[in-house]
Amino acid sequence: MSASLTARTEEKYSFRMAKGTQRSLPVAAAGLSFADNDYLGLSRHPCVMEAAIRSIREAGTGARAARHLAGPCPEHSRLEQSLASWKRTEGALVFASGYQTPLGVIPSLIGPGDTVLLEKNAHACLFDGARLSGARLRLFKRNDPESLAEGLTFSQKISPGAKILIVAETLHSMDGDFLDLTTLVSLKNSFGAWLLLDEAHANGIIGPAGAGWAAEQNLEESVDIQMGTLGKALGSSGGFVAARASVIDHLLNEARTFLFGTAPAPAAMAAAGEALAILRQGEGQRLRETLQNNIRLFSRNTTATTHGPIQPLILKTNKVVLAARDFLRSLGIDVAAIRPPTVPTGTARLRISLSARHSSGDMRRLTEALARLPVT
């Protein structure tokens, strides 16, 4: 290895250590996890696991190739039909991962001369997709109509006639708050912009049949593209978009992460399809009610101010949040310590992720441990 490359990586390591941002992969689970996004516990549902096992027996473990090369796969097609029905759109398209989805979708819709209006603290995959497009990137503050209106006005003025794509998360992945979608849609319509709505964390947990925040607000028709993941409430892996048939056909032909990326494994699609079927039935409603009960339990016993499964506890400094995480691990509880650059400097936090699989005893154990944190 080149000496200069070694020196460079060691320099970066020293910088991260000094800042408290050095990361490493955990080697053992703490026991009780409040760190993942399996909001309804469907990844371990017997029917979901059995669907994946059946698919492996029939189709094997691999994904073979990109879908244009590998030929038809019933699991992909069935899931896309179900997703479109669930989202009340004409079509849907699955991608190998949630992260790869906007990396293919955004650059296929807009390019140089156009503008992406993106929430200031949006997920990294949305930033990366916007940058890959070559379009002008302008940020707006979440749930701040004045900031969004200013961005729309500026974008329309600087490039009259150019396309404007607004990109926003319905349930924020780190702050845990819900989007003021009604106001955003009103502004989007006033300026003739397009809207890509990331429902990754809202899908499954809210709305009729768990169809997400746009469905809860009865605004699906006002959203141009709904984006989601199969790796959270749906208990599997992969990403997807749902939209009009003409948009799906366009993405099938133009989204590079779909065209050139290996398809998701059939077993993952079968698992997601079974999870989606559960979501849309009575059991899914019961799981959502259990999750909501856990959210209420948490709120009653803490100072929580958000109303979803993502509960941030802001501890400000990297040193303090790491000490808090390690204290909880010593009690057998796993909670993620989130530090910059994932969140803004000065907002390091514990990200507590609640699930329907957590019992009342689990919830009590968590809140009692949080009350004992030596750093709060």
Residue 145 has a pLDDT of: 97
Residue 129 has a pLDDT of: 98
> Cα dihedral angle (308, 242, 37, 103), rounded to 10 degrees?
-120
Residue 207 has a pLDDT of: 97
Determine which one of 38, 80, 198, 274 is catalytic.
Answer: 198
Tell me the domain boundaries of the chain. Answer: 22-39+309-371, 46-279
Q: Roughly what angle, to the nearest 10 degrees, separates helices 245-254 and 100-109? A: 100
Residue 24 has a pLDDT of: 86
Check residue 218 and give left, alpha or beta (phi > 0: left; psi -120 to 50: alpha): left
Residue 376 has a pLDDT of: 54
Determine which one of 38, 75, 80, 169 is catalytic.
Answer: 169
Determine which one of 45, 188, 232, 358 is catalytic.
Answer: 232
Residue 20 has a pLDDT of: 86
123 among known catalytic residues: yes
76 among known catalytic residues: no
Give Rg (Cα) of the chain.
Answer: 21
Token digits of residue 30: 């703490």
Low-confidence ranges of the chain (pLDDT < 50): none
- Fold annotation for 22-39+309-371: Aspartate Aminotransferase, domain 1 (3.90.1150)
Please give the model's pTM, rounded to 2 decimal places: 0.94
Determine which one of 108, 121, 155, 173 is catalytic.
Answer: 173
pLDDT in tens, 227-240: 999 999 999 999 99
Tell me 171's DSSP state: B
> How far is residue 293 from each of residues 266, 289, 308, measured CA to CA in Å?
34, 6, 11
Query: Domain spanning 46-279 has what CATH number?
Result: 3.40.640.10
201 among known catalytic residues: yes
Determine which one of 175, 201, 236, 318 is catalytic.
Answer: 201
**Residue where the block lists tokens 């300026």:** 191
3-class SS string, 79-141: HHHHHHHHHCCCEEEEECCCCHHHHHHHHHHCCCCCEEEEECCCCHHHHHHHHHHCCEEEEEC
Specify burial of residue 128 (Cβ count, 10 A radius: 0-12, 13-18, 19+). middle
Residue 206 has a pLDDT of: 97
Q: Roughly what angle, to the nearest 10 degrees, separates helices 74-87 and 266-279? A: 30
Closest CA to 209 of 77, 85, 52, 355: 85
Residue 232 has a pLDDT of: 97
Residue 70 has a pLDDT of: 85
